[in-house]
Amino acid sequence: MSSRTATAAQSLTAITEEVGACAQQVAGADLSRLAQLLDRYERVFVLGAGRSGLALRMTAMRLMHLGLTVHVVGEVTTPAIGPQDILLTASGSGSTAAVVRAAETAVAAGAEVAAITTNPRSRLAELAGTVVVVPAAEKLDRSGAASSQYAGSLFEQTVMLIGDALFHALWLNSGASGDDLWPRHANLE
């Protein structure tokens, strides 16, 4: 049993400070390049495992609201990827087996691969044409040195913010209003 204690409010403050500091260290040039790629390709495919995958699903939804053709890998309606497409991935370690295999398949099919990872020397980063490095702890790093949070939480939170930042930049640059995007919002909820 740990001797550490905190209120939920104290934890919220600690987490938001940690996420803010991490996000500030993500290279803006890499984010800008990724935004340009997402806007350029015919279709965007997204893939991550666990909470990283959930964060990319949120990104997929927002990109769809913007009018991009987006597919979540693994859904039954996801088509084959090809040369006019981009696969956006997230893996803290850059070695998540299913994500790496999908990236290898995408490269073999002639598609672009982009990776969000903590490990710029990983197999996933090697496969990606664009890599956004998040200076956070990997899932298995429980040392507390890179993050006071459990496992890969800081990485996953930052992936979500990166997705929203990509959407926000693309939206502002599109000139579309919120009203223009609204008709694409789900109406079967």
Backbone CA torsion sign across 78, 82, 88, 93: positive
Domains annotated on the chain, with CATH: 28-177 (3.40.50.10490)
| Alpha carbons within 13 A on the beta-carbon side of 177 | 2
Residue corresponding to tokens 């981009």: 86
Residue corresponding to tokens 């295999």: 101
Nearest to 128 by CA among 37, 23, 64, 32: 37
Q: What is the pLDDT of residue 3?
A: 60
* In contact, 89 and 37? CB cutoff 8 Å: no
Q: What is the pLDDT of residue 147?
A: 84
Over residues 57-95, the pLDDT tens digits come to 999 999 999 999 999 999 999 999 999 999 999 999 999
- What is the secondary structure of 53-106 as a DSSP string? HHHHHHHHHHHHHHT-EEEETTSTT-----TTEEEEEE-SSS--HHHHHHHHHH
How many whole angstroms separate alpha carbon 130 and alpha carbon 37? Answer: 9
Q: What is the pLDDT of residue 1?
A: 39
Q: With a cut of 70, which residues of the chain have pLDDT below it?
A: 1-3, 139
Q: What is the pLDDT of residue 145?
A: 75
Nearest to 22 by CA among 137, 124, 164: 137
Q: What is the pLDDT of residue 29?
A: 95
Amino acid identity for residue 106 in this structure: A
How many whole angstroms separate alpha carbon 1 and alpha carbon 72? Answer: 40
Amino acid identity for residue 109 in this structure: A
* In contact, 18 and 148? CB cutoff 8 Å: yes
Q: Which residues are catalytic?
A: 156
Rg for the chain, CA atoms, rounded: 17
Compute φ and ψ for 186, nearest 5 degrees.
-55, 135
Amino acid identity for residue 152 in this structure: G
Q: Which residues contact 95 (CB under 8 A, 6 or more apart)?
A: 119, 122, 123, 124
Residue corresponding to tokens 């919220």: 12
